[in-house]
Amino acid sequence: MAATPPHLWLYGLHVAAVSRRAGIGRALVRAAENVAHGRGARQMTLDVDAGEAGAITLYEALGYTVVRHHDRHWRPVDRRTAAVVAEGVPATLIMRRSLRDRSRGG
Ligand X SMILES: CC(C)(COP(=O)(O)OP(=O)(O)OC[C@H]1O[C@@H](n2cnc3c(N)ncnc32)[C@H](O)[C@@H]1OP(=O)(O)O)[C@@H](O)C(=O)NCCC(=O)NCCS
15 belongs to the binding site for ligand X (CB under 6 A): yes
38 belongs to the binding site for ligand X (CB under 6 A): no
Q: Are 102 and 42 in contact (CB under 8 A)?
A: no
C-alpha span between 51 and 93 (Å, rounded): 10
Q: Are 92 and 49 in contact (CB under 8 A)?
A: yes
63 belongs to the binding site for ligand X (CB under 6 A): no
For ligand X, the binding residue among 7, 30, 50, 55 (CB under 6 A) is: 55
For ligand X, the binding residue among 3, 5, 6, 20 (CB under 6 A) is: 20
24 belongs to the binding site for ligand X (CB under 6 A): yes
Query: Residue 94: which H helix or E strand, with range?
Result: strand 91-98
2 belongs to the binding site for ligand X (CB under 6 A): no
